[in-house]
Amino acid sequence: MRSTDPHDVRRVTVVGEEVLSRPCREVTKFGTPELSALIDDMFLTMYVADGAGLAANQVGVDLRLFVYDCPDDYGIRHVGHIINPFLDLPDPSSRRLVDELEGCLSVPGATLAVSRTDRAVARGVDKDGNPLVIEGLGYFARCLQHETDHLVGHTYLDRLSKRDRKDALRQMEDRREEVFAQRAIKAARLGRQDARR
């Protein structure tokens, strides 16, 4: 990790890269400028890529951490980060599964229906090591599950049938250049805004 000032838009890793397919390491140092800079860079990268969440391994950093800016099904916006999260899901008897379209910044241009529970609780700590409990409903619960999957080395493709996975990879092949071009335009626009400050 490096300290960056001003904050950097980082390259988003793409499915197939090794860092996305292995469990991330626990964060053990808190309250450091490097950790704060990484979180700031991740937020900036997520906004440039039009994401609702972003895990550290999606910017090539092998740490158990993700950021989010995501609405729930009631229109309430949730913004924050969580480090070393563990997920509590409702037990199978009271679990309600919802099939909804899901995309991923590391699978650019592809969306497919994924089954997730409509409630989730993430427990972890913030960048200073203070305990966090984040409750998610609806779309925000989906976001918490999606990002926690990343930290154990999974993408949503791992939850798909072989046929759907092929479909997602085909969508990505068709659309990825267009997605990368849109991100580059947004990053450049942001750079010009920074220069004017």
- Please, which residues have CB within 8 angstroms of residue 94's CB and are 6 or more apart in sequence? none
Backbone φ, ψ for residue 113 (5° rounding):
-75, 130
Clarify whether 17 is annotated catalytic: no
152-157: which pairs have CB atoms within 8 A and are 24 or more residues apart? 152/23, 152/24, 153/20, 153/21, 153/22, 153/23, 153/24, 153/57, 154/21, 155/15, 155/20, 155/104, 155/106, 155/107, 156/102, 156/104, 156/107, 156/112, 156/114, 157/15, 157/104, 157/107
> What token pair was written down for 132?
């966090």
- Residue of 147, 173, 177, 178 with catalytic role: 147
Q: Which residues are catalytic?
A: 147
